[in-house]
A and B are shown apart, each in its own frame.
Chain A
Amino acid sequence: DSGVTQTPKHLITATGQRVTLRCSPRSGDLSVYWYQQSLDQGLQFLIQYYNGEERAKGNILERFSAQQFPDLHSELNLSSLELGDSALYFCASSPGGLAGPTDTQYFGPGTRLTVL
């Protein structure tokens, strides 16, 4: 158990809908990262937050957004969902936001999103 929790574990929805995925980082970790894992694209970095502020952006679509709250939990919002958005969404956390050499990421169990 990494100490990172994600809810829900599974989510099934229809095209065009909007969903919110939730992540609670390990106790004491200030950074949260979101990743998308699909069969054809592998593990894709989406976005990183540090202590409430956006720190780095990866291949995140404009239809997707995220935020980190004062209690450090984070939410990933996916809107106007398409079939191709079906994937595993992982959250990871790390202690620091300056991402020093020893700032290792620990992953949650993921949310499996199925868009029908």
Chain B
Amino acid sequence: GEDVEQSLFLSVREGDSSVINCTYTDSSSTYLYWYKQEPGAGLQLLTYIFSNMDMKQDQRLTVLLNKKDKHLSLRIADTQTGDSAIYFCAEKTGGFKTIFGAGTRLFVKA
């Protein structure tokens, strides 16, 4: 069935790079998304990548897509305390549903 999996927690030091990983199952996925949820807030769209791309860079964010392995990652360079949040990976399936992962909680230590 359709599923998106992420690790639940990641802890990094301020200034280091963070890499959040995600795997998905639908090989006909069209778009893959990263959302950020800060405490007490809704999900905010961070970035997305079309499935025929390998990489997308947007300031401190780099998205890497390995379509063969159905693996998506989000790299945050120079991680700041303000980056502490839950990060959700999501895929737009070939059937045009959006499936969300359970979210990765990023802790940034000062």
Contacts and interface: CB of A to CB of B under 8 A. Distances in A.
Contacts of B75: none
Q: Contact residue range for chain B?
A: 20 to 34
A90 interface: yes
A110 B103 contact: no
A106 B45 contact: yes
Main secondary structure, interface of B, reads strand
A5 B107 CA distance: 28
Nearest to A6: B42
Q: Contact residue range for chain A?
A: 20 to 34
Contacts of B30: 101
Interface in A91-116: 92, 98-110
Contact of A101 (B43, B44, B92): B92
Interface in B84-110: 88, 92, 96-98, 100-103
A83 interface: no
A45 interface: yes
Interface of B: 30-31, 33, 35, 41-45, 48, 50, 88, 92, 96-98, 100-103
27 contacts: A42-B102, A42-B103, A43-B88, A43-B102, A43-B103, A45-B98, A45-B100, A56-B97, A90-B43, A99-B92, A99-B97, A101-B31, A101-B92, A102-B31, A103-B92, A103-B96, A104-B33, A104-B45, A105-B45, A105-B98, A106-B45, A107-B35, A107-B43, A107-B44, A107-B45, A108-B42, A109-B42
